[in-house]
Chain A
Amino acid sequence: MDDTRPATPADLPARPAWSWTAPEVTSIIGIPLITYVGGVAASGGSVPGFILVCFAAIGMVTFQALRVTRRNQPRTPRYTNALAVAVAVISIVTGWNLLQFTPSSALSTWLGPAVPVILFLTLVALIRWGRR
């Protein structure tokens, strides 16, 4: 290698390929599932259902934290750190609201718990494809 010549952008090492670990894949599938099931249960007045949503919310933040500390993986967008906390908080608030105010229609019983699920999946998409 000729160390004496100045570097050019062509010398930039290639970015490592993105990969998901087995626990990450499990979280991507499991967290929305737990959130939704917990949310539906909470809307029926079940406190354990709400606790399930809270656990899922902790899982959301943990998922982001573990992703950030992975070595030799493309950087995650910085704003997703705050976003993960926000999604977790919204999930808990949604779960609490479903528990306290029983949805009036069958449609909202099934759609209400989907809100945190959609938000989490959006977070995952931003972690993977968001602008860095």
Chain B
Amino acid sequence: MSDVTTERELLVLPRFKVLGFLCQVDESDYRSLEKFTGLTTPDISKAVGFLDDRGLVEVRKERSGRYSQTIVRATGDGVKAFRSLLDGLRKYGLP
């Protein structure tokens, strides 16, 4: 997969929002991702699945009482890729 393709794929709104948020925090869960990004659970699920497949985020399950919780965190590659994407966008003067 070329860098150009990766950047274009990361510009898809839900992926951009999810990775963008994860780059600002150490880790997060789905409920908080919903709250901070304004996305729905299916959107977040699809975005996280895509980012996980490309090694940009790490996903793990944690038990919280009777329920399991999905915890997501950006990998080093994910943070690097997102910062480079953001720098590129700002270079073109996008707000």
Contacts and interface: CB of A to CB of B under 8 A. Distances in A.
A64 to B, nearest CB: 12
Contacts of A5: 13
Contacts, number: 75
A82 interface: no
Interface in B1-36: 8, 10-14, 16-17, 20-21, 23-29, 32, 36
B86 interface: yes
A75 B17 contact: no
Contacts of B71: 71
Interface residues of B, number: 29
Nearest to A15: B24
A75 B13 contact: no
Q: How large is the interface on A (under 10, 10 to 19, 20 to 34, 35 or more residues)?
A: 20 to 34
Nearest to B29: A71
Nearest to A9: B89
Interface of B: 8, 10-14, 16-17, 20-21, 23-29, 32, 36-39, 43, 71, 86, 89-90, 94-95
